[in-house]
Each structure stands twice: as C-alpha cells, then as structure tokens.
Amino acid sequence: MGREDDEYLSTDEVRAKLSCLLEADLLRLRRMAELQAKKLRNCDPDDLLSDGLDRVVSGARRWPRGVETAPFMRMVFGSIVSSRAKHAAIAAQHEMDVEVDQAGNVDSGNCVIEAGVSTDPAHAVYAQEMLEKVTSNLVNDPHAQAIALALGEGLTANETLSQFHMSQNQYDAARKRLRRVVSRLITGENAP
C-alpha cells in the first residue's frame, strides 16, 4: 500500500463505515440527494443516492480519511449532478435543429428554425460559468473574446463581424483560437 493509498479509506473501511449508518443518517443522505437532484430535470433522488453509494462502495470514488460521511456524500452527489449537467449541455449542443411550420409539422413550407434550447436552470448556470471561464482565458485575445461573448448573446457570424468590426479572416482565425480554448477547458473538466 503506497502513501497515496493511506490518504483514502479502503473499500473494507468504506463498507464498515456505511454499515454503521443509522436510519436517520440514511434519511439525511436521501435528503441531500434530493436537494442535488433538483438541479437537474429528470433526476430521481433515489437513483442519485444509489449511484453515489455505488461509486463509493466500488471504489470508483475514493473517500479521503478524516472526511465525515455527510460532507463527503454531498460532494459525491454534487459531482454526479455536475457531470450529468455537463453531459446534457454537450448533448444539447449536438442536437439537430429542425425546420417546423406553425403547426409543428416537420419539413413543410413556410418554416422557421427551432433549436433545442434548454430552459433547465442547471444548464444556464453551467453555460454562464463556462462563458466566464472562456472569456477570462481569452483576456489577451480581444477578437476571440468578442466572438465568445457574441455567441453567448446568440449573435450570428455576420452580426459579430459587423458589431466588432472584424474581417472574415480575423473572425475565422479568432474562432479557431476560441475552439481550442473551449476544447482545453472541457477536456480539463472531464479529466479524472
């Protein structure tokens, strides 16, 4: 057993700690899971509780020594919810836009574009946090920062070019730099 392993409870210690929980402790964990689950649409608190406990018991989520059960499980539930929100946000970005008419019929004449815009508060919070991270990472790149802010406001490429007085080449180059920063941030968030 290495020094790093001494910093965490073993799976046997985790099982022993969880087996000593009283009914009141389990209800408290359930309530914490319920509060975290409210941050996402279609997140069942019992599934969140079960998922969190499974990760801890399996060793997928390591329990640091000296951390009490309630604060540790609150972090586990928060981590799961955050991960699910990020995955949902990424999935929403890849949803196809569909042309629909006023009656909701797909691909008929006189259509408008209807994008999959989420009204989930967790998605909005994540999007705002990500926009702040991106813009702070682009503080020395005004064109890329302008594009990030424009995208956050829902401006089109032509509106961005006009509003920020950029040429098409400046826009294209800055957009590539913006993509690299966003990719780096997302990769960093998903790293273990």
* Rounded-to-10 torsion of CA 30, 31, 37, 43: 40
Residue 42: per-residue pLDDT: 82
Percent of the chain with pLDDT over 70: 77
Res 26: pLDDT:
93
Q: Provide the token pair at 22.
A: 């009283």
| 150-177 pLDDT, tens digit each | 887 778 888 888 888 889 999 999 999 9
Distances (CA, A) of 176 to 7, 83, 143: 42, 26, 11
Q: What is the pLDDT of residues 103-153, one digit of tens each?
A: 544 444 443 334 444 556 777 777 777 888 888 888 888 888 888 888 877
Distances (CA, A) of 41 to 33, 81, 90, 110, 121: 14, 10, 15, 33, 9
Answer with the residue of higher pLDDT: 5 or 174: 174
Q: Quick check: helix, strand or coil at residue 185?
A: helix
Does residue 17 carry a pLDDT above 90? yes
Confidence bin at 23 (pLDDT 50/70/90): very high
Residue 107 pLDDT: 42
For residues 53 and 25, what is the distance between their CA atoms, to the nearest angstrom? 13
pLDDT surpasses 90 at 46 = yes
Terminal-residue alpha carbon distance, the chain: 21
Tokens of 78: 């928060």
